[in-house]
Amino acid sequence: MIRRATPADAAAIAALWNPWIRDTAITFNAAEKSPAEVAKMIADRDAAGHATFVAEGPDLLGFATYAQFRGGVGYATCMEHSVILSPAARGKGTGRALMAALEDHARRAGAHQLIAGVSAENPDGIAFHNRMGFAEIARIREAGRKFGRFIDLVLMQKFL
């Protein structure tokens, strides 16, 4: 089931997100998220007219969220998103369902496009976005640094 996230989902989202932050290079962030930080993110995005969605089974299967790509009114219709799945949910349509809900919300909220910033060390994420209709528009060489090495950032775009 896909539904809008609330701050009450923050602990489960943080528990799902933190192993990806701590153990992989699919995100360049090295600081784990506290439930309070996740609750604030959800509330801030809701207040700005953006959204966070969760996929539930017996447990949290994944989440997707979006917000404005860059600050300022000139970027008001350009959004950046994140989608994170539990390992058990990968390849089962959960990411596709989350992205469909996110894209529908963003479109209704007036977004013109979504941007995905995907670690070049995440070929599954690049392939997923390709299947979802995103196109690679740029590769920023050595944009991130994690685990003692530089990592390229792949920017992907989809017009809504």
Tens-of-pLDDT digits for all 160 residues of the chain?
999 999 999 999 999 999 999 999 999 999 999 999 999 999 999 999 999 999 998 899 999 999 999 999 999 999 999 999 999 899 999 999 999 999 999 999 999 999 999 999 999 999 999 999 999 999 999 999 999 999 999 999 999 9
Q: Check residue 74 and give its pLDDT.
A: 96
| H runs (alpha helix) in the chain | 10-23, 35-47, 94-108, 123-131
Q: How far is CA 156 from CA 13, 32, 99, 117, in A?
A: 24, 25, 14, 6
> What distance in Å separates the CA atoms of residue 71 and residue 65, rounded to the nearest whole number?
17
Q: Check residue 109 and give its pLDDT.
A: 98
Nearby residues of 30 by Cβ (< 8 Å), 6 or more positions away: 21, 146
Q: Check residue 58 and give its pLDDT.
A: 87
Determine whether 116 is exposed, middle or buried from the number of CB atoms within 10 Å of its CB (0-12, 13-18, 19+): buried
Determine whether 157 is exposed, middle or buried from the number of CB atoms within 10 Å of its CB (0-12, 13-18, 19+): middle
150: three-class secondary structure by DSSP: strand
- Domains of the chain plus CATH, in order, are 2-113 (3.40.630.30)
